[in-house]
Amino acid sequence: MKHELKLYCEKSQLAELRTFISKTLIPAKLNDISQNQLILAVEEVCANLIIHSHDCDPHSFLLLNVHLNADTIIFEITDSGKAFNLIEYKSPEVNSVMKERRKGGLGLLLVRKIMDKIEFETNHSINTCRLIKKLNSK
């Protein structure tokens, strides 16, 4: 089954994103903790794109597609902004975030810890980020 959300690049849209993912994940019958983790990971990637690739421009948008399969859940986020390759991005250590009194930097670390696989590709200025979660893993 396929589910799609068009998400405009405003931070206020993040609540809508969470509602959409919660509804979409109902058939997967995940427990509360696992469901919250997936919502969080997708939100972190989207928030990152909205803020850093699209400068919170409400005219641009991201597309989120969710594929619920028998053994995996795949979240595919596409946009046409500045490519942000989160596979190449090096997350800071939690301790250095604390010592440097930084408020950012933890989001993609969460994504890496929650998801089983992250894929990124840019094709004709369309960027696709795929977050893959194996069911019954982690």
Residue 74 engages another protein in binding (rule: CB under 8 A): no
Query: What's the closest the beta carbon of residue 86 comes to another protein, in angstroms?
Result: 13
Q: Pick the stretch among 1-9, 67-75, 107-115, 128-136 that binds another protein (CB under 8 A).
A: 107-115
Would strands 72-79 and 126-134 be described as parallel, antiparallel, or unpaired? Answer: antiparallel
Q: Which one among 3, 18, 67, 130 touches another protein, defined by CB under 8 A? A: 18
Residue 37 engages another protein in binding (rule: CB under 8 A): yes
User: Tokens 């902004």 appear where?
Assistant: 81
> 46 — phi, psi (to 5°)?
-65, -45
Interatomic CA distance for residues 18 and 36, integer angstroms: 9
User: Around Cβ 137, how many Cβ atoms within 10 Å?
Assistant: 10
Residue 135 engages another protein in binding (rule: CB under 8 A): no
Residue 119 contacts residue 127 (beta carbons within 8 Å) = no
Point out which residues bind another protein (CB under 8 A). Answer: 11-12, 14-15, 18, 32-33, 36-37, 39-40, 43-44, 47, 50-51, 94, 97-99, 101-107, 109-110, 113-114
